[in-house]
């Protein structure tokens, strides 16, 4: 028996309890006991660039980390200034021009959370002004932008962390350790999904009653995007439009890629093919509501190659809550690992390699060992992600999700969109960041 094929007894010993039981994971973020009081001289002052729902949510989480204070926020819709001051304090500076905030010497770090087409410009501007950056996922709107962001991170020497919180999750970390232990044998297929079935879940968000050309800086919102007449839906439902968002793949697949890359240590696929369609939400959106994709991951080092399938369905009648359900299934020749809010490993005895031997009598697949690991009640991986970011800001140590990781997680999602539009297989090199088209020969 090779070291990558532990016996059932080894699996149970590794689990540490009886098969079928649940272990609660209690590790803190790598920050250690980050809730210890922080010296007044060690405070970090942050600003929010893009104060929509995601930006305000990120800020609320960031401020749970001791020693962090919000001093400014930028947005192009005046209604969000009122929301920011009500939630975070009347003394918070608000402006339509984020560059005014970057000129403030007392701002140490920024949260970049505007529509996707603004991620690169705001991030690079902040890095070049000496600010550390927490950039919402997906990191960029195009692969070329991602390459520029990697270069800017290296050139400026500032901290850049991408905001896909699965990377800091203790549940994902446990899945990574189990994957590395070889308990699944050789993993040959990974299946991932994220499904929804509601108006909000399908990204059809409400438009404020006071949305107008007086309360919105329309030209600033458009930026480098094509000039179009004022249309509030393009701002408040920007994820539905190609000029500003990255479709459902960039919005949701990017989380799956981030978590899966942590678990497996993979850098990215070599081939991408995507299909789908607009099946139900025919509300003027430019993106599909059902998408399936297939990816080839090559062997790398001692890890064998595998296939990845991902799917998203905004019309899944089995979903029981507004924001849907998301998860993974890692399939090996000796076991299966299910990863979602918990991680569960189920293992069977290894296959015999005496392929010509007569089959064993009875049902030789019935012996199945399983064990489930869960985070404590109330655990918040996004809070751990921010703890890790602020530790890096203070210590200048590497972050857990830098620009290179962010590019490798986001690029395959952008290739999904291109493959969907062009109806062909694309190639990707996660080492050189080059995109190509598979030869027909």
185-204 pLDDT per residue, tens: 999 999 999 999 999 999 99
What b/e readout covers 267-303, taking b as 16+ CB neighbours within 10 angstroms?
bbbbbbbbebeeeebeeebebbbbbbbbbbbeeeeeb
φ, ψ (nearest 5 deg) of residue 260:
-65, -40
User: Structure tokens of 227?
Assistant: 């000039």
Angle, vertex CA 390, rays to CA 385 and CA 395, nearest 5: 125
**How far apart are the C-alpha atoms of 169 and 376, rounded to whole Å?**
12
- Name every residue whose Cβ is closer than 8 Å to that of residue 391 and which is 6 or more positions away in sequence: 29, 30, 31, 34, 397
Question: Would you state the pLDDT for residue 30?
Answer: 46
Compute the distance between CA of residue 53 and CA of residue 49 in angstroms, rounded to an integer. 12
- Residues 6 or more apart from 395 whose CB is under 8 A from it? none
Strand partners, 73: 48, 94
The pLDDT value recorded for residue 72 is 98
Tens of pLDDT along 386-415? 999 999 999 999 999 999 999 999 999 999
Q: What percent of the chain has a predicted confidence (pLDDT) above 90? A: 81
Q: Do residues 152 and 179 lie in contact, with contact meaning Cβ atoms separated by under 8 Å?
A: no
Q: Angle formed by the axes of helices 403-422 and 254-264, to 10°? A: 130
- Measured between alpha carbons, how far is 205 from 152 in angstroms, rounded to an integer? 34
Cβ–Cβ under 8 Å, residues 176 and 27: no
Structure tokens given for 294 = 């297939």
Amino acid 95: pLDDT: 98
Query: Model confidence over 246-261: pLDDT tens digits?
Result: 999 999 999 999 999 9
pLDDT in the model for residue 115: 98
Over 90: is that where the pLDDT of 228 sits? yes
Phi-psi region of 123 (alpha: psi -120 to 50; beta: other; left: phi over 0): alpha
Alpha helices in 332-436 (DSSP H): 381-395, 403-422
d(CA 392, CA 336): 35
307 φ, ψ to 5°? -105, 145
Distance from C-alpha of 276 to C-alpha of 432, rounded to nearest angstrom: 29
Give the tens place of pLDDT for each residue, 350-396.
777 787 877 666 555 445 578 999 999 999 999 999 999 999 999 99
How far is the C-alpha of 313 from the C-alpha of 280, rounded, in Å?
10
Q: How crowded is the C-beta side of 230, counted as CA atoms within 13 Å?
A: 10
| pLDDT score of 1 more than 90 | no
Give me the pLDDT at residue 17, please: 40
Exposure class string for 61-81: b at 16+ Cβ within 10 A, else e:
bbeebebbebbbbbbbbbebb
Measured between alpha carbons, how far is 330 from 96 in angstroms, rounded to an integer?
A: 46
**Token code pair at residue 292:** 């399936």
pLDDT band at 37 (very low <50, low <70, confident <90, very high): low
CA-to-CA distance for 331 and 264, rounded, in angstroms?
Answer: 12
Q: Domains of the chain by range and CATH?
A: 8-27+173-377+404-437 (3.30.360.10), 40-166 (3.40.50.720)
pLDDT, residue 347, reads 87
Q: 50: phi > 0 → left, psi -120 to 50 → alpha, else beta; which? A: left
In sequence order, the 6+-apart residues with CB closer than 8 A to the CB of 284 are 233, 240
Average per-residue pLDDT for the chain? 91
Edge-to-edge strands, sheet with 369-374:
22-24, 369-374, 342-347, 335-339, 325-332, 187-195, 306-313, 290-297, 271-277, 426-429, 434-437
What is the reported pLDDT for 27? 58
From the list 55, 158, 61, 65, the residue with the least C-alpha distance to 98 is: 55
Distance of CA 272 to the CA centre of its chain: 18
């Amino acid at each position: 028996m090779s070291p990558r094929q532990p016996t059932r007894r080894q699996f149970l010993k590794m689990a540490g309890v009886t098969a079928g039981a649940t272990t609660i994971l209690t590790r803190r973020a790598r920050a250690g006991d980050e809730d210890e009081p922080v010296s007044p001289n060690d405070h970090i002052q942050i600003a929010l660039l893009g104060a929509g729902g995601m930006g305000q949510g990120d800020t609320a989480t960031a401020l749970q980390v001791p020693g962090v204070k919000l001093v400014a926020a930028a947005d192009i819709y005046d209604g969000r200034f009122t929301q920011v001051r009500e939630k975070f304090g009347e003394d918070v500076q608000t402006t339509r021009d984020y560059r005014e905030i970057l000129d403030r010497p007392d701002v140490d770090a920024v949260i970049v959370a505007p529509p996707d087409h603004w991620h690169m410009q705001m991030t690079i501007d902040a890095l070049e002004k000496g600010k550390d950056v927490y950039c919402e996922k997906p990191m960029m709107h195009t692969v070329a932008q991602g390459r520029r962001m990697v270069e800017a991170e290296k050139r400026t020497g500032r901290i850049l962390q991408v905001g896909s919180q699965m990377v800091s999750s203790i549940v994902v970390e446990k899945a990574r350790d189990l994957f590395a232990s070889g308990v699944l044998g050789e993993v040959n297929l990974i299946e991932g999904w994220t499904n929804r079935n509601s108006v909000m879940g399908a990204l059809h968000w409400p438009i404020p009653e006071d949305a107008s050309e007086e309360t919105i800086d329309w030209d600033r919102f458009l930026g480098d995007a094509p000039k179009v007449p004022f249309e509030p839906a393009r701002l408040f439902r920007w994820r539905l439009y190609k000029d500003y968002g990255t479709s459902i793949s960039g919005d949701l697949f990017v989380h799956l890629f981030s978590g899966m890359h942590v678990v497996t240590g993979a850098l990215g696929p070599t081939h991408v093919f995507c299909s789908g369609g607009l099946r139900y939400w025919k509300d003027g959106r430019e993106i599909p509501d059902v998408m399936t994709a297939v990816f080839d991951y090559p062997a790398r080092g001692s890890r064998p190659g595998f296939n990845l399938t991902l799917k998203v369905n905004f019309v899944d009648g089995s979903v029981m809550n507004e924001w849907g359900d998301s998860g993974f299934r890692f399939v090996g020749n000796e076991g299966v690992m299910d990863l979602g809010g918990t991680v569960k490993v189920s293992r069977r005895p290894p296959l015999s390699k005496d392929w010509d031997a007569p089959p064993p009598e009875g049902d030789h697949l019935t012996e199945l060992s399983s064990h489930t690991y869960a985070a404590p009640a109330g655990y918040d991986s996004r809070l751990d992600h921010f703890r890790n970011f602020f530790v890096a800001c203070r210590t200048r140590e590497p972050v857990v999700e830098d620009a290179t990781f962010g590019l490798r997680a986001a690029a395959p999602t952008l290739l999904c969109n291109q493959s969907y539009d062009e109806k062909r297989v694309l190639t990707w090199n996660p080492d050189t960041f080059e995109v190509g088209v598979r030869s027909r020969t």
